[in-house]
Amino acid sequence: MPPPSQQVIALRGSATAIADYLRYAIYSILFLRGVYAIEDFMVVNKFDLELLIATNEELETYVSSVLSQVEQWLMSQTINQVVLVIVSKETKQTLERWVFDVKAVEPPPGAAPKPDSEVQEEVRSMLAGIRGTNSMLSDIQEPALCNILAYVKDDGHQDSTADGWEDTHTHAIEMDSATEVKLKKASTSVHQIQATVVYLCDQNSLFRMSIDRVLGTKMTTNFTFNGVGADKRLNSAANKLQAKMGAYKYMQELNRKKQSDVYRFLLRIRCWEYRQLNVIHRAHRPSRPDKARRLGFKSKQGYVIYRIRVRRGGRKRPVHKGIVYGKPTHQGVTKLKYKRSLKTTAEERVGRRCGNLRVLNSYWINEDQIYKYYEIICVDPSHKTIRRDSRINWICAPVHKRREARALTSIGKKNRGIGKGHRYRRSPRKATWKRHNTLSLKRYR
């Protein structure tokens, strides 16, 4: 166990680090949510991020006085929560509650203090998460005010209220009309902090959230839009086809209207979630169950869904120093177009990562300015459920190893020009058909 002097130093350093994080988090929230204008802030480089500090003297004085008292409470380990409340200026209604739960951590005996680099990495991740929530939250369309609340322990031996602080109401939001989102944690050797945002949803936002829940889980056929201000044409079409459409058909119709408010909101939320995850990761369930089933997925043992993101853009020629030492016809480094699609690249990368699985098919799920996101349907050829199923056990044959690398999946055949119909009668599809349907008996000489 470290001596008491080292414990005091660690406690003081932890309290200072938590207070600094709260300062930059509060300024970022106030700027992103439009409570204060951009003229009231200045950009600084902190934690390898471009963060904001206040140039508004009134705001800086208020936040500094609050955080100085919070730091004292952190030193005495008597604080539980710090809450930033955004309130409507006209109606006094609470619009958002940013809750920062603070908990004292008891380090194990003989444990070394947590390195500053790890603490800064976790703080950097939390601040980036706060900035990422701005695309998820609806814009505040009315003038708003902010208030900072602190929840401290009252053990009966000391007064929990400090100078300038007084008891007030909690500015709570009813969960029936609100949504709660938890962000990443950060911790020091002494304290742990967890950020959570609870925001008020209007009727349209609640409707969108209900659609998100429906599309992310098993869907029944007996729910309607309930007329909560959605697109009138989509609403009337859904009411007319409600008796005729099943769950997967209903999802398919929603997916066809990607420019509708509902689906744009859904794609934006999911894209924000995918950016926080690893490049290749296993999904618990398909994001588009209707599309996955049309491509051969079954919700049973032996089937696996992997999600991957692929960087968008053209292809650069892989030459040393960007110089082509050769004929003029081979010049050019940038503005080259890859002969195959990004979906085939996604399938190959997943197949290379999961060597014991066979790639069955894939489909698009999302995209942003940097990446395209795909879900890859994989099959385990060693699983007895797959080997005993006559509809899928063809993929267990050794000839189907790395089929995605040999362009044997749907997108691979499309890129090779193999298909049926009038679109495949022109070259090179015509040449491909002729080559596959011509018997050539070469004479031995």
209: helix, strand or coil: helix
Sign of dihedral through CA atoms 416, 421, 423, 429?
Answer: positive
Place 282 in a pLDDT band, splitting at 50, 70 and 90. very high
Place 385 in a pLDDT band, splitting at 50, 70 and 90. very high
Helices (H), 301-422: 342-353, 384-387, 410-416
pLDDT at 220: 36
The pairing of beta strand 371-379 with beta strand 49-54:
unpaired
Rounded distance, CA 217 to CA 215, Å? 6
Helices (H), 77-202: 116-132
pLDDT at 115: 80
Rounded distance, CA 261 to CA 239, Å? 18
343-384 pLDDT, tens digit per residue, is: 999 999 999 999 999 999 999 999 999 999 999 999 999 999
pLDDT at 221: 35
- Residue 159 above 90 pLDDT? no
| Residue, of 244 and 160, whose pLDDT is higher | 244
171-183 pLDDT, tens digit per residue, is: 777 766 677 888 8
| Residue, of 349 and 199, whose pLDDT is higher | 349
- Closest-CA residue to 29 (of 183, 192, 232): 183
170, two tokens = 């909690």
pLDDT at 375: 97
266, two tokens = 């859904």
| Under 8 Å between Cβ of 52 and 42 | yes
| Range from 165-174, 189-198, 432-441 carrying the lowest mean pLDDT | 165-174
Predicted TM-score (pTM) of the model is: 0.49
Rounded distance, CA 9 to CA 188, Å? 13
pLDDT at 6: 55
237-248 pLDDT, tens digit per residue, is: 445 444 466 788
- Residue 109 above 80 pLDDT? no
| Under 8 Å between Cβ of 31 and 52 | yes
Place 130 in a pLDDT band, splitting at 50, 70 and 90. confident
Q: What is the CA radius of gyration of the chain?
A: 29
Cβ-in-10-Å burial (0-12, 13-18, 19+) of 301 comes to exposed
pLDDT at 9: 54
Indicate the average pLDDT of the chain.
81
Rounded distance, CA 216 to CA 235, Å? 20
Rounded distance, CA 181 to CA 418, Å? 47
Helices (H), 336-445: 342-353, 384-387, 410-416, 429-436
- Residue 205 above 70 pLDDT? no
Rounded distance, CA 33 to CA 170, Å? 20
- Residue 233 above 60 pLDDT? no
Phi/psi of residue 271, nearest 5 degrees:
-65, -40
- Residue 223 above 70 pLDDT? no
Q: DSSP assignment, residue 352? A: H
| Residue, of 359 and 213, whose pLDDT is higher | 359
Rounded distance, CA 36 to CA 435, Å? 68
| Under 8 Å between Cβ of 360 and 294 | no
